[in-house]
Amino acid sequence: MWVSQIISNYFLHFPNKSNRSVMSEFPPCPKCKSPYTYESGLLLTCPECGHEWSAEAVKAEESSSSDTLVVKDSNGAILQDGDTVVVIKDLPVKGYSKNIKSGTKVKNIRLTDGDHNIDCKVDGFGAMALKSIFVRKA
Ligand SMILES: [Zn+2]
């Protein structure tokens, strides 16, 4: 019974193969590496070997990487809103004759999307946008 179900699903999905990217939508079969996997309820199903596995873990990973902003410091540690970071090199600031000195502690950062991905307040400078590659987690 389940075999015929898989086969009918296979042929229902197969005509779409040419005009959409199946590979990027679902991961390949972990057993036989077939790229023609498709979603069947909560499971991913491989039409070629019949292997079924949970898509939940995969989905959780996908949504966390696409919906959640991940900002890493100079060491690759993941930063979070409210963290305290330390500036690792002197940073020139537009409109100021002085630099933000290496070693300056910056409290209560806020992560943003973009080139300068940390919003914060720096003592003596005020509101500032920094690049996460120039700081490390305190
Ligand atoms: Zn397979």
Cα-based distances in Å from 106 to 10, 16, 88, 89, 100: 56, 52, 11, 13, 10
Give the Cα separation of 97 and 90 in Å (integer): 12
| Å from CA of 44 to ligand 1 middle | 10
| Å from CA of 66 to ligand 1 middle | 27
Cα-based distances in Å from 13 to 45, 48, 58: 12, 13, 21
| pLDDT value of position 75 | 95
| Å from CA of 67 to ligand 1 middle | 29
CB 100 within 8 A of CB 107: no
| pLDDT value of position 25 | 73
| Å from CA of 59 to ligand 1 middle | 19
- Mind listing the pLDDT tens digit for each residue in 41-83? 888 999 999 999 886 665 556 555 555 688 999 999 999 999 9
| Å from CA of 64 to ligand 1 middle | 26
- Mind listing the pLDDT tens digit for each residue in 1-46? 555 555 555 555 544 444 444 445 788 899 999 999 998 888 899 9
- Mind listing the pLDDT tens digit for each residue in 87-107? 999 999 888 889 999 999 999
